[in-house]
């Protein structure tokens, strides 16, 4: 096993505020028993809004349908909410929100809503599915920016899964990308959300949202800051604060122990590569498993000598999203108290170009001794993952091995930006990951591992080529087949998140740019494993 060494002072990354967040950094969410009709909470002066749910009409021409607390709010405020909903053209669709600003009385005249929150928010919950409620939460977050406390009954009476989805959506919608000035993501909505009624405590939702916040914030950090050393320092700081064991291997240790893929990809950069290992090890118990999550960590991808067009480079600061998701997953597992051991592997490198760049035609030796013929230096992610997977399979003894990466444009062409591509030969593992993704709002689509395509990776000068022969289609499949060679026969799954890791525009709980896709799905899967 490679030596356990932290990053030394001589090769640390640039200083900066921590980007990784915890549940404590998110907007407060409280649960208060009671109902709209009688709760004294609505009379407290720092409550700026009451949000109530509405659903689409049962038949055309009908008004929106009230849900828990809506009729009681109309009675307590002394107004006809249905008429106001019609004027606002509220239709109850999931992810819609309409704010009613109530006027103050002139002089000494009393109004029915005196002493109550001066805003009513009608939040569309659609059919009330977890997906709809997640969108409702995000809509409420955006509608209450800058307020103090917001009281809501949207999550009441929808069951544990529905309430969790609503709170997750609210916290995900609260996220704002960090700026260069602050360096840390900042919440945008109200200071606190109060769930009125009978609710489970939203701890799981908070930790899942924090994992996504962390992955997003790391992914959008500019590559001028986000060198491999800087990202390793972020991982060390976050893991240490969480009480986890963390090791960082620098260039000398990587060379000594044969991590030829990471070294080759990072060889053209002035910022040397790293391999970060973060371990969460709860007390041993019956049925405990060891899960290793390896994430592609290319802090910027120029394409190397196979340089990308300018337009294709614009989003490449996010090419380390897989590593961010892996780190967020192990931190989230610890915060949630997942009963299984979880190890995150972050192979970090910048794929630059220069006199020391690796070349097409080179033959590399990755960890464990497999030789790899390089055909395209812009297919670098699978090389760093080959090192990480081979190390995990050979030295960490995992029960399950998962890699996650913004790996191929082919996955994006096949599935667009809504679904991640899932590859595994294991039917049970596939079913559980798909179910977890659906529950978390991060859908995965299982793709085939076509064994016959494996011959396109045959090499005359090495054990394997890292990309298929020119003219071969199914690029996402052949990339997965390449990675499968390094899983050592372990239970293994590959998540290609090249599409959903980035969004061209903000929609519902998803921001424009880095989305953090994958962290919540993996945490759901781990919790139910």
Closest CA to 483 of 322, 317, 301, 316: 322
Q: Are 163 and 170 in contact (CB under 8 A)?
A: no
Whether residue 51 contacts residue 217, with contact meaning beta carbons closer than 8 Å, is answered with no
CB 154 within 8 A of CB 51: yes
Sequence-distant (6+) residues with CB within 8 A of 434 are 422, 443, 444, 445, 446
Helix (H) or strand (E) holding 293, with range, is strand 290-295
CA-nearest of 357, 430, 343 to 395 is 343
Dist CA 328 CA 407 (whole Å)? 19
Among candidate residues 6, 12, 148, 308, the one labeled active-site is 308
From the list 134, 279, 382, 465, the catalytic residue is: 382
Q: What's the CA gap between 50 and 286, in Å, rounded? A: 47
Whether 273 contacts 231, CB under 8 Å: no
Is 135 strand, coil or helix? helix
CA distance 360 to 378: 10
CA atoms lying within 13 Å on the CB side of residue 100: 25
d(CA 275, CA 436): 28
Between β-strands 119-124 and 97-101, what pairing exists: parallel, antiparallel or unpaired?
antiparallel
Single out the residue of 400, 467, 394, 390 nearest to residue 428, CA to CA.
400
Q: CB of 437 within 8 A of CB of 520?
A: no
**Beta bridge partner(s), residue 282:** none
CA distance 233 to 228: 9
Ramachandran quadrant class, 151 (left: phi over 0; alpha: psi -120 to 50; beta: rest):
beta
Position of tokens 């039917």?
A: 427
Catalytic annotation present for 524 = no
- Return d(Cα 74, Cα 67) in angstroms, integer: 12
Q: Is 465 a catalytic residue?
A: no
Cβ–Cβ under 8 Å, residues 499 and 405: no
Q: Locate 208 and state its tokens.
A: 């899942």
Pair 432, 289: CB distance under 8 Å: no
Instruction: Supply the residues annotated as catalytic.
Output: 308, 382
């Amino acid at each position: 096993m490679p030596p356990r060494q932290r990053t030394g002072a001589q090769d640390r990354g640039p200083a900066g505020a921590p980007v990784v967040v915890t549940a404590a950094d998110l907007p407060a969410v409280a649960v208060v028993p009671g109902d709209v009709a009688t709760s004294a909470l609505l009379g407290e002066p720092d409550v700026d809004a009451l949000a109530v749910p509405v659903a689409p009409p049962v038949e055309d021409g009908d008004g929106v349908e009230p849900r828990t607390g809506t009729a009681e709010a109309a009675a307590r405020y002394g107004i006809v909410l249905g008429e106001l909903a019609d004027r606002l053209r509220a239709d109850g669709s999931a992810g819609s929100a309409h704010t009613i600003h109530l006027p103050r009385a002139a002089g000494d005249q009393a109004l029915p809503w005196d002493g109550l929150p001066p805003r009513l928010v009608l939040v569309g919950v659609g059919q009330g599915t977890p997906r709809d409620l997640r969108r409702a939460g995000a809509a409420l977050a955006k509608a209450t920016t800058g307020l103090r406390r917001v009281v809501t009954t949207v999550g009441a009476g929808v069951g544990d899964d529905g309430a969790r989805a609503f709170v997750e959506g609210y916290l995900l919608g609260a996220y704002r990308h960090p700026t260069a000035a602050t360096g840390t993501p900042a919440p945008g909505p109200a200071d606190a959300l109060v769930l009125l009624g009978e609710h489970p405590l939203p701890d799981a939702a908070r930790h899942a949202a924090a994992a996504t916040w962390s992955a997003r914030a790391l992914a959008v950090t500019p590559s001028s800051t986000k060198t491999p050393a800087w990202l390793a320092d972020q991982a060390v700081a976050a893991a240490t604060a969480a009480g986890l064991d963390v090791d960082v291997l620098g260039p000398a240790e990587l060379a000594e122990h044969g991590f030829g893929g990471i070294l080759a990809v990072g060889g053209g950069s002035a910022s040397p590569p790293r391999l970060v290992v973060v371990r969460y090890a709860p007390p041993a118990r019956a049925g405990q498993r060891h899960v290793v999550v390896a994430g592609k960590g290319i802090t910027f991808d120029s394409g190397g000598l196979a340089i990308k067009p300018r337009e294709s480079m614009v989003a490449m600061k996010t090419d380390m999203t897989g590593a961010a998701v892996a780190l967020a997953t192990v931190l989230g597992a610890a915060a949630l108290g997942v009963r299984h051991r979880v190890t995150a592997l972050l192979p970090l490198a910048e794929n630059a170009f220069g006199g020391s760049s690796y070349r097409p035609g080179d033959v590399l030796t990755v960890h464990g001794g497999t030789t790899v013929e390089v055909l395209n230096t812009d297919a670098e992610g699978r090389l760093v993952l080959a090192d990480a997977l081979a190390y995990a399979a050979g030295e960490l003894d995992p029960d399950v091995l998962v890699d996650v990466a913004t790996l191929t444009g082919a996955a994006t062409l096949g599935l667009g930006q809504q679904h991640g591509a899932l590859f595994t030969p294991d039917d049970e593992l596939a079913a559980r990951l798909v179910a977890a993704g659906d529950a978390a709002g991060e859908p995965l689509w299982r793709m085939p591992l076509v064994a016959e395509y494996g011959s396109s990776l045959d090499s005359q000068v090495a054990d394997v080529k890292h990309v298929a022969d020119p003219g071969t289609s199914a690029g996402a499949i052949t990339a997965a087949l390449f990675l499968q060679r390094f899983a050592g026969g372990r239970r293994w799954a590959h998540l290609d998140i090249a599409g959903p890791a980035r969004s061209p525009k903000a929609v519902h709980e998803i921001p424009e740019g880095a989305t953090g896709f994958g962290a919540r799905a993996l945490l759901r899967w781990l919790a139910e494993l």
